[in-house]
Structure 1
């Protein structure tokens, strides 16, 4: 039971109001005295100390966010390492994922847009976030919406006080861990440049071509593989002689002879990413230089149909334009073997053309295109490989072979006919019955034999084989 005077005070509103007025007046007097006696800087310090003393909640952590862009003066190795490392951190708490699958590999799981992954390192909590930004660039001439370009990056957030530990220890740990994971399974990438975006865009390279399935003459195939192996093992040699660690290949021959398949086979053999560059999308030498600086090490740069992709002004031809505003032959040559060619290691450059005679001789000299590979018409060995791949017919010359008769007929027709491996493969795909497919190929070859070549000249198998021995040049 409360005392009587307390009950009276509580029951009287006028008493409560009187007490409040008295307290307010006292506080105003104290405030005036404090302002007159204590300097304002001292007041601010005291109030800050009082707030810290009586604050109920713990202090809020100050977070730092590191942005890991996909490209930074070239392919960002930290971005690649983070992408591989974080795949191993995906667990049941991840809400959204992106999956893909190639024909010869398992399901690949990667991050969806704006997905976050939590990680810990030496007691420090970290949060990764995958961000994708899509921008649309308006074309100057037309009024359409233009083309889209995407930028991808990771955001790494943590308590700011651990900055030195994260940058000095955690980031190297991620790079080292990703190297271990990459050795177990590397997903090859195909990079393209559309002409309106600011950098390369990539997709998984899923081309199944290998040297085992490539319709190519054995001696020529072995020469290419030996040259690639020799190139990979000579890093110290290139450094010692003062040359950029790169190799140039010129693939030339009629359409359909397997030039693109050879590039894919090289990529799968070396485990190199591929950069497919269309010169028609390049506006100037400076843009070409910026793009090539963004290519990663251990990669293949492919420029297809270089003879007809763009008209490159001659180095000696007079021009009224600013050289910085156009793509020139000298700019391309400077990248191939000039000072800019040394910006990167373990790189392969591949030019393809259907008409080697149309190329400027400056592109063909040693040091630029080190190995010239003539992709010829289909010969008998290439046919047997295609028959084994498409029809499951063993590659054998046994006299008791059930298809011996038709094989012999095809061998004779190939010696007198110009037909590409692509045409042979297309004919073999028309039926799963080997007898039907081979009969169709015989009809095709007989039809080709009756046709007269455009130049009135037909090369024999012996002539083509002699050309291969001369044109497969290894430095």
Structure 2
């Protein structure tokens, strides 16, 4: 005679076997139904078989256009990145897109954008990710992906999108030229389109300069580790018309750095010079033209005032050569 414990164990095994059979049969039936019934009936059959619909296995991140009263930087990056997906015409791209020409841009900078309600698919590290744009009170991107790719989407894909857009902005950014006037920098468009490819320069010397610039650009961590200011200096000399300004423009276009053209004759004191240097943007070029003539022509500081004991007139500039060197050494632009 079987004991009560053995009977309960047998009933438990039978229940497990039956449940496994039911689930297996349900999955098989679901696959068969998917091949026979229209797509709209599949969620209903899935519900009847107690299986989650495909949509339940996908996660989504909503990226709204505004973060409070400010633009959402992730949304702006997503819009720029999606534009590259549309330009590459990937599989699943919407058939109708919007085209626009940003104000002041050239014809080669036409950007593409999705219309609300459309979607585009991207593939990253084997994960399929879908960008969908919604309208309404404010536009928003909905990034959806399979649940098993959650870590890839949030931990790697979104940072990749941000870094990609930042790199694109650096490559497409047009450098500006700043000149000092009354103690402030005034921006103007840098119209000199000289590059190392178009520069009339000895080929070997040109390559040496390019290699030196690239080495400098990639050694920021080395400068920080050794406690040195991350900067590089060049002395360009020659008579007028020999291409000094064109070389500076080529360096600016190669590095994508803005140029600050410092007129020492317009600087009234060492204090003003210090303020100008501090107000320079990161990753920029300081250009001091005719530095030898400017410093030689600058009057010496009158420590005893004028002949009548008054303060010297403002026309007497008080920028010393040592002040320029000292300020450049202590101004670390990264």
TM-score by length of 2: 0.49
Question: Under a length normalisation based on structure 1, what TM-score does the superposition of the two structures give?
Answer: 0.35
